[in-house]
Structure 1
């Protein structure tokens, strides 16, 4: 999840779904308010930790942090020097993930197909948004934190991409680099409240409307494929926190057109190979999950 969150356009929620921990993550986060008031404030620390699945959350977020610290440099290097190959891997991974999630739907009907279409269109529209510029105020800092974290936990939608679209990516990076604690405090508060709220809502929706939610999330992933299409042409640029010139707006191209426009190789065969590798990773994780479940039931 940490490695995915480093790449704008790839959601850590997608990785959580692939690995089969998505619903457990939602339930653990959603249990926090009740565990806080019902257990911790009464001095029952052990019961609080157990009720919110504390060991699971600690290991998960520890892994995310370690991954961001150790892999972010390598992923940024690959994104800068081998973008077609990196995006190809993620394209195959997300496409196979959508297929995997769709298979989990128990019953297909008009409602499920409609929700799938709504999710696909919504995610596609988000990826086509032109970057805006929101004023940096207390409310926009708080709201951008809540919005970004909600997007981050939804498969197919990247929180960093949402920040980029609303013009808050730069101000947040500046706040981190310059240790602007007042701004960071508002942003993190928004993240916490947004995460607790969306987790409660999604947990309730999965309990009541599991097939509909799976169809909606499948649509999110299919619609987000536009963002991870490997062959792109940059039409505008921005300067990132390291002073590097990186693409801001891009348009998708066919492999042959990409080679003609950019003068670079489309690396078509390697791209296809890495897309297949991404799909194999998903299928391997799915197989591993089934084996673990079968052993647990024996």
Structure 2
């Protein structure tokens, strides 16, 4: 067993709780992204047993992080919403320079890459205006909500596998972020919600891991163009507005600088997946 993957999993799990930096990005920064994608692909094959020494410790770390930190994130969002959102905003924008370097924009992008980037940016921006408003826990588990939870989990899992896109950001776009994190409460877990969203995540891993590996291998620059666009578009979703109050503005500036500094620092250590 690669027990060092426990702390790596904890870092990935914490990042997947935050609508800013994805678990895939953390895997890149830790130097295990290629092995992570290969292990996910291998787990859903006849050689699945060979992947367990890598995946079991990683999974333990991720579960520990999800259970241990979800309520902290909820508390911050409920009691210090704007400064917390500006911290997330700093993380989102701070990761862009790393993606730009990985995409090798100056030498590799053509007009088509920029068009894809712009399209992805506009798509997420528009999507942010039409999805349900986030902020409350959804208590009614209707058929419609069940489909919504499943699809959110599916797309979030795809985001978790991609460097640059946050799975939590996808949940935020679908208006189920607070519902998902509240469901992970140790004292009163919402098992049905966990099962539905978790099923979407598992299905997403099964279907999307091979697809992501394929496009990153054969169409890396176009993939990065889309990722950068999705990240830039997510700024409009994460941005919470700002009150005309110095007592709010100053903490928001501080948390934004902290978030962006963390992302810039981590991103400076990685330039390519290959």
TM-score by length of 1: 0.67
Partner of 2:9: none
CA contact (8 A) 2:103 2:224 kept: yes
Please say which of residues 8-17 and 68-77 is displaced more in the overlay.
8-17
Partner of 1:225: 235
- Equivalent positions of 1:205-284 (< 5 A) are 205-229=215-239, 232=240, 253=241, 255=242, 258-259=243-244, 265=246, 267-284=248-265
Q: 1:200 deviation in Å?
A: 0.9
Matched, 1:286 2:262: no
**Aligned partner of 1:30 among 41, 65, 74:** 41
Q: Distance in 1 between matches of 2:126 and 2:23?
A: 20
SS at match of 1:112: helix
- Does the C-alpha gap of structure 1 residues 185 and 271 become closer, same or farther in structure 2, counting only changes over 3 Å? closer
Q: 1:55 deviation in Å?
A: 3.8
Q: Kindly provide the CA deviation profile for residues 48-97 of structure 1, in whole angstroms up to 9, marking residues without a partner as x.
A: 32xx3x44433333222222222222222211111222111111111011
Q: Kindly provide the CA deviation profile for residues 148-191 of structure 1, in whole angstroms up to 9, marking residues without a partner as x.
A: 433454504534325536x9x58x959x94645xx865654443
Partner of 1:66: 64
SS at match of 1:227: helix
- Does the C-alpha gap of structure 1 residues 213 and 24 become closer, same or farther in structure 2, counting only changes over 3 Å? farther
SS at match of 1:131: coil
CA contact (8 A) 2:89 2:235 kept: yes
**Aligned partner of 1:100 among 98, 112, 130:** 98
Q: 1:4 deviation in Å?
A: 3.7
Q: Kindly provide the CA deviation profile for residues 204-252 of structure 1, in whole angstroms up to 9, marking residues without a partner as x.
A: 00000111111111111111011221xx3xxxxxxxxxxxxxxxxxxxx
Structure 2: runs of 5+ lacking an equivalent: 1-11, 134-139
Structure 1: runs of 5+ lacking an equivalent: 41-47, 233-252, 294-298
Partner of 1:86: 84
Q: Distance in 1 between matches of 2:27 and 2:84?
A: 19
Matched, 1:200 2:207: no
Partner of 1:240: none
**Aligned partner of 1:149 among 152, 157, 162:** 157
CA contact (8 A) 1:145 1:191 kept: yes
TM-score by length of 2: 0.72
Q: Which has the larger radius of gyration?
A: 1
Which structure is richer in relative contact order (CA contacts within 8 A, separation 6 or more)?
2
Partner of 1:129: 130
